[in-house]
Amino acid sequence: MTMNTVTRMSTRIDCATSVQTWQMTFTSHVRSVSLARRLVCRRLCRWGHGTDAIDVMALIASELATNAVQHAPGRYFHVRLLGDDGQIRIEVSDTLRAEPRRMDAGPDDERGRGLTLVAELADSFGSHPRDGIGKTVWAVVTVPRPPRGSTVASDTLAEALDESPAVTRPAAPARRW
């Protein structure tokens, strides 16, 4: 990962409430959507969730991050995961103040289905204004509890996620003085 792609990441486990959190800020670029999706998958795998939960959250992360990149005017968007024993909450924050709205996409339309997919996959979803500027769009999915002490749902899945190529920009050519 380069500073051009990712600006900040943190992980925390609150032992008093057993809530796991992970968050990262991304540049508002189309390449960051796939990186956000991959990192959400990797984190959920490390938290011990199975492939069904990971697949659902990957699609939700992708749709919300895509909306942030396509519609928000800012340079960054922020992704946050919160997981407890039975639910995963994903939040994507951006600089656009307008509330997201579902579109009525026709059968030949290439866009306009993202929030409809999120509404179908999530147990609940919505948005709220951020302090300062913008909004946060969130979705909650109820998932089976990972086994106690589990940190990786599947060794094969974890290895596949770790081996997938990272999205990086080519290094700038060295300057000759």
pLDDT digits (tens, 9 = 90+) for 25-57: 999 999 999 999 999 999 999 999 999 999 999
Tally of domains in the chain: 1
> Is the whole-model pTM more than 0.85?
no
Residue among 118, 121, 149, 28 nearest 79 (CA): 28
- Is the residue at 141 inside a domain? yes
Residues 6+ apart with CB under 8 A from 172: none
Whole-number Å distance between alpha carbons of 72 and 29: 11
Which of 151 and 140 is assigned the larger pLDDT?
140
The boundaries of the domain holding residue 98 are 6-163
In-domain check, residue 172: no
Q: Is residue 123 part of a domain?
A: yes
Give per-residue pLDDT as tens, 111-120. Answer: 667 888 899 9
Per-residue pLDDT, averaged over 60-75, amounts to: 92
Q: What is the mean pLDDT of residues 130-135?
A: 89
Q: Examine residue 65 and state whether it is found in any structural domain, yes or no.
A: yes
Asked if residues 146 and 49 have their Cβ atoms less than 8 Å apart, the reply is yes
Confirm whether 173 is domain-assigned: no
Determine the angle formed by the axes of helices 155-163 and 30-46, rounding to 10 degrees: 150
Q: Is position 175 within any domain?
A: no
Half-sphere CA count of 107, side-chain side, radius 13 A: 0
Q: Domain holding 64: CATH number?
A: 3.30.565.10
